Structure 1
């Protein structure tokens, strides 16, 4: 038997992930390349129009400044071309093959010139503007191979221009270091792209399954930044997709700020909880959308600079949104805020590396990628956490709704069932008041009051049992019930109502050879909520002189209680939904008696609890038609002579 140890698996996975980055970086440190910029000289051609021959002109060449005097590595989005020259020495006792240039793939123009005695000796063309098959090394990294004889010094000039942000990285590497850098850069990008696509597929799957728009916004945001990285890193060129160049990376970068704002507003529910913050987000969203459109129609340094600003302000906004949500107790907002905070911290590290405040090592160079993976992962976790929380809140709301419905049901039961005993008490009180000197009639009246009071007490106890049953503290217990006793209780409750309306109640029980007609049920609910309700409705919808038959008999060995009247019947629309709690079926009787529409669903509820069945047929009264009325039949389970108490399922 194989036992899966999740804790051990997570520990090993974490170790593997750390090792996958730490070990290569450690190896890279041992084979470190040489940073050429500290001993280089730099000149910025603001017009971007000068060529190597112009640069070698003494008047122009005199404008080169030592990098160490002004260590500026980042030039931002600019039309300038940056020229760098550096002397590379080989102080060893043998010839050396060196790889010179930059590991940044997004540079549009990166040409290297070997110059000796003021003359260009050799030219290496590189950068995204040169088709990858025409480059000397045919790779996406701009590193060029050259041999430096022992004891010799060579001077190299580098021409650097980019449609994206210009950032100077210039190094000299051995062959092993060059290939290692190339591999570790590819592995890092593939790890990033694979992680992002996994998160995107995850979010799309949940959007399709759950139809939660937050997953859609999350996936669109992930798609925009992933495609941006693929274009930015030069992989599309390697794969032969030349229709998307480096200049298009800005467009995808520009699409992420509006998507991040939309996602933040939706995820934190800003519109409902923080109206002022929502209006600020709406204005900012319009602005960054305008920047996105500008990057499409007017690509260039201005659009690139505006894209960077839109990313900065959109990140501030989503962090602010996350902070508001977290401060107000939204646990998922804490994960959301942490993810974006770490991403912002990684971007700051990357920017500090570009401007020279931090050494441009592996972690600094790829800090945005690592930060983005962490941000997307934590946001995915936060999104899942929030969805689970929403389902839990919805579940609790449904429970509260059911409890409210249960309470309403109990109130309706009380109001419905107590009405008849109260009418008996009221009528008996009138009789007793009218015949003060007639002791016999007064005694009968007070007997009826006592009997009606016991019915009310039984109804109240029944309501308590119903409440206990609904909350799971008690189960409805079925026991043998004598239908003759039920009929007497119904006659007692309704005879005054029937007599006052001129309706005759006819009770009959055909028990065959059995000593009694007994069924498995609950006596109080069978009397007051089932039979009493059917007979009361029959009286309500019958005219004076009509009959209501209340019968009990056996059919195919099963006990049946039937209530049949000569009333006005039911129209088809009411007949189809008479047992539904959600549809209005109440209507006034033949003497304009009002109803609640609750009695029939309640009767059906109890019959179902008994394990019985209810069938109802009705024919609506029409002019010239003498046969009309309603017939209700309840089929129950017969009680044996010594039955065990049964519990309703």
Structure 2
């Protein structure tokens, strides 16, 4: 049905809403005047035009929409009947002297809303032609004047003015509400695009940093670089390729064209891989990593690359970044109720209250250097939380910059993910 060049599916739905509103209001207003002509003015001689015209107005545009699935032709049909009924009612009510002559101002508005700029331009021409004809009929004293003969001009003028204001206010209100909804969706889409770009900036950069460090070591000679470390580099390249693929897919998810491919996988297996990936980074800084897992595999529904690279690897890197040499980081994972909990606890410098309060905001400035001047972007935490929510998970952070009798200094990040309902082999 999208035969016009709409900028988006949302724009098409918005135009279709206007079609329905204008149709409903137009049919209702014409029915009111049809009743007035028959029961108030007793002028049944105009029924041979008014009744077929109103029936055509009420039936044909909807029938056209249903049969042709063509918005342009349906909109043109609706406009034809609306303008035709309006012109005939004004003609019988005195033409240029009709108390509702200002209804012609709605013609460019209706055509513009339904068809766009070409419709508005056509509306101006139609109104100019109608006014010219009415002026000529008035000068030539040709045509009926039902209001002059059977009604009260001031009363009808007030009635028309009130009806026109209600029509204008309602259509304007609908237009503003629709525009606000459209603007919010555009802002969200823009935010989603920025977030995906930040994934590339943040997580690809993290992986490349680790690869660069390994390459520098490789230049020192084959003895300084083991086959295991070569395998880690190869895995890092695979991770970047997977991440790029997932970013493309996530864009489709955000646009509503696809779903995030959640699959049953072993959280224990993923945590072991993340532990191995960050072990060398921690060792270079003199930090000890501790991994404590429950005995079961903790099967969850998740997307492996996003969970590993965007969430867990990012949180582990943060813990290392804000820890001093000689300190340790404890990673724990265990099942609880219908889900699993992952805790990443460091004993580093902690997070100041003013940063912690805005740590999930993409707009707030939360980036700060690590204990050895490591740089960051401030995008890691907001992105981790967002993608956890896409996997039906949650993220919370507790931190303090000074130790207390009941809590040590540092930060504890707690992830919650639901257990997979259908247990399957890890992917």
CA–CA separation in structure 2 for the residues paired with 1:543 and 1:612:
30
Write out aligned runs for 1:121-270 (5 A): none
SS in 2 for 1:577: coil
Moved more, 457-466 or 440-449: 440-449
Q: CA deviation at 1:390?
A: 3.3
Residue number among 176, 189, 196 corresponding to 1:390 in the alignment:
176
Could you tell me which residue of structure 1 aligns to residue 371 of structure 2? Answer: 590
Q: CA deviation at 1:548?
A: 0.9
Could you tell me which residue of structure 1 aligns to residue 402 of structure 2? Answer: 621
Could you tell me which residue of structure 2 aligns to residue 483 of structure 1? Answer: 267
Q: CA deviation at 1:628?
A: 0.3
CA–CA separation in structure 2 for the residues paired with 1:370 and 1:644:
77
SS in 2 for 1:459: helix
Are residue 414 (structure 1) and residue 195 (structure 2) matched? no
Could you tell me which residue of structure 1 aligns to residue 215 of structure 2? Answer: 429
CA–CA separation in structure 2 for the residues paired with 1:458 and 1:517:
23
Higher strand share: 1
SS in 2 for 1:508: strand
Equivalent pair of 1:546/1:567 in contact (CA under 8 Å): yes
Q: CA deviation at 1:635?
A: 2.7
CA–CA separation in structure 1 for the residues paired with 2:419 and 2:117:
61
C-alpha deviations, 1:136-192, integer Å up to 9, x for none?
A: xxxxxxxxxxxxxxxxxxxxxxxxxxxxxxxxxxxxxxxxxxxxxxxxxxxxxxxxx
CA–CA separation in structure 2 for the residues paired with 1:8 and 1:557:
56
Q: CA deviation at 1:589?
A: 2.0
Q: CA deviation at 1:428?
A: 2.2
Superposed CA RMSD in Å reads: 4.8
Are residue 18 (structure 1) and residue 37 (structure 2) matched? yes
CA–CA separation in structure 1 for the residues paired with 2:415 and 2:356:
16
Q: CA deviation at 1:20?
A: 4.5
Could you tell me which residue of structure 2 aligns to residue 404 of structure 1? Answer: 190
TM-score normalised according to structure 2 size: 0.64
* Higher relative contact order structure (alpha carbons within 8 Å, sequence separation ≥ 6): 2
CA–CA separation in structure 1 for the residues paired with 2:318 and 2:189:
29
Equivalent pair of 1:428/1:448 in contact (CA under 8 Å): no
Write out aligned runs for 1:258-407 (5 A): 331=120, 363=148, 370=156, 373-374=159-160, 377-378=163-164, 380-407=166-193
Q: CA deviation at 1:637?
A: 2.7
TM-score normalised according to structure 1 size: 0.44
Could you tell me which residue of structure 1 aligns to residue 85 of structure 2? Answer: none
CA–CA separation in structure 2 for the residues paired with 1:378 and 1:644:
67
**Structure 1 residues 449, 582: closer, same or farther in 2, change over 3 A?**
same
Are residue 447 (structure 1) and residue 248 (structure 2) matched? no
Residue number among 413, 423, 427 corresponding to 1:642 in the alignment:
423
Q: CA deviation at 1:8?
A: 9.8
Equivalent pair of 2:320/2:329 in contact (CA under 8 Å): yes
SS in 1 for 2:360: coil
Q: CA deviation at 1:555?
A: 4.3
SS in 2 for 1:387: helix
The alignment of Structure 1 onto Structure 2 pairs a total of residues equal to 340
Are residue 610 (structure 1) and residue 391 (structure 2) matched? yes
Equivalent pair of 2:394/2:417 in contact (CA under 8 Å): yes
**Structure 1 residues 637, 21: closer, same or farther in 2, change over 3 A?**
closer
Could you tell me which residue of structure 2 aligns to residue 529 of structure 1? Answer: 310
Q: CA deviation at 1:426?
A: 0.9
